[in-house]
A = this chain, B = another copy of it.
């Protein structure tokens, strides 16, 4: 390991144990909630470094702590499973461009896929959108998987300072200042998509204004509660 990565713990170090488990839990949550299918991945930055953990060639629903890979922001291998994920630049390029981002989720969410090809965008009509602008998330218009630094950079540029970006004919990328936040935002983005889809049948709904979003944002938040809840749903499902 060169000096650039001297502060990155070894893949098998006990320092990463909790982070790995949380990443696996988050992937299982996305799967349990029907957001992911056989594809998609989440990542988490190693705090204070330019390295991250993500899935190595496994579906989110089948993730285990042994099927992760540790990469730097150039895709350099730092440990874990040998196979780097084909779309690693989604995570690397967004984390490089956004130092505030600790975690990125990429899914082929049905709802994000839908709104990625609609002309009107995903304008929020529910308070769960308090992490979005009133105009909804931006859309990345490129074709092809994000397998290069160039495409990853274009995706990060489309994301700008938002919490989510829709990927045309493909899915979404959602970020957070913690893994829990990125996971929960991904779930809520799907809920917002479903609501916005249903509303369109009824004529113009009352879209949320920036002021209303600000009012809801000013309220206290309880992130531990949905995390406990969604985790309980994963565990219940696993009972023999």
A206 at the interface (CB under 8 A from B): yes
A48 at the interface (CB under 8 A from B): no
Give Cα A119 to B203, complex, Å. 8
CB–CB B61/A233 < 8 A: yes
Considering only residues 108-161 of chain A, those with a C-beta below 8 Å from chain B are 108, 110, 113-114, 117-120, 125-128, 143-145, 147
A12 at the interface (CB under 8 A from B): no
CB–CB B237/A240 < 8 A: no
Contact pick for A125, options B38, B117, B216, B225, CB 8 Å: B117
Count of this chain's copies in the oligomeric assembly: 4
Which residues of chain B come closer than 8 Å to A117, judged between CB atoms?
125-126, 199, 205-207
CB–CB B127/A203 < 8 A: no
Of A3-11, A14-22, A90-98, A189-197, the stretch lying at the interface with chain B is A189-197
Shortest CB distance A38–B (Å): 3
Which residues of chain B come closer than 8 Å to A38, judged between CB atoms?
225-230
**Given A127-B170, A143-B215, A169-B127, CB of A225 within 8 Å of CB of B57:** yes
A contact set with B: CB distance below 8 Å: 37-39, 57-59, 61-62, 86, 108, 110, 113-114, 117-120, 125-128, 143-145, 147, 168-170, 191, 194-195, 197-208, 211-212, 215-216, 218-220, 222, 225-230, 232-233, 236-240
